[in-house]
Amino acid sequence: MHDRRKPAHEVTPWYEDSGIFKTQLVQMTVELVPMFGRNSRQDIMVKGFVDGNGAIDVVFPGRRKEHAKPLIARLQMMLKRAHVSGGPNSAPPNVDRIRHAVRIEGSWRPRFSCDDQGWQTREHQLYAARWLVMNPDGQSVTFGEAPVR
């Protein structure tokens, strides 16, 4: 499957974005939590919640991974603070309660997987193009790049 991919030096922003952002762009607020992963393309995946309890994966793909580093560092700092504030003998903090609201512009993509019984399930992931966060001074800061169309 991976042998059909272009070499990295041949991937232009237009080529990358045309493969990632195939559907209409949406803007929504997602509460990200410090739970991270990577997909097969080594994109950064972060667990988030929409509308309070709806869990989703937010994917920071391709060249935007570099732009996501300050956000990841902030989430890791929030997790570290939660561990420290709990004290040495307390239970680990509930990661799902450590939330950071981020306004994300991106597109939804389906993800298919099989459960333990072999049933195929369909989930949606939000692929982030740009995102807006509040800095400690209360100013909004935008990261990422608008998709090249």
pLDDT level of residue 27 (50, 70, 90 thresholds): very high
CATH code, domain with 66 = 2.40.50.140
Domain that holds residue 118: 23-144
The mean pLDDT value for 75-97 works out to 87
Looking at the domain assignment, is residue 29 inside a domain? Answer: yes
User: What is the Rg, in whole angstroms, of the alpha carbon atoms belonging to the chain?
Assistant: 17
Q: How many structural domains comprise the chain? A: 1
Would residue 55 count as lying in a domain? yes
Is the full-model pTM beyond 0.75?
A: yes
In sequence order, what are the residues at sequence separation of 6 or more whose Cβ sits closer than 8 angstroms to the Cβ of residue 144? 60, 64, 67, 68, 105, 128, 129, 130, 131
How many other CB atoms are found less than 10 A from the CB of residue 77? 11
The pLDDT assigned to 35 comes to: 96
In this predicted structure, the answer to whether residue 25 has a pLDDT above a threshold of 70 is yes
In a domain, residue 39? The reply is: yes
| E strand map for the chain | 26-38, 44-50, 54-60, 100-114, 120-134, 140-144
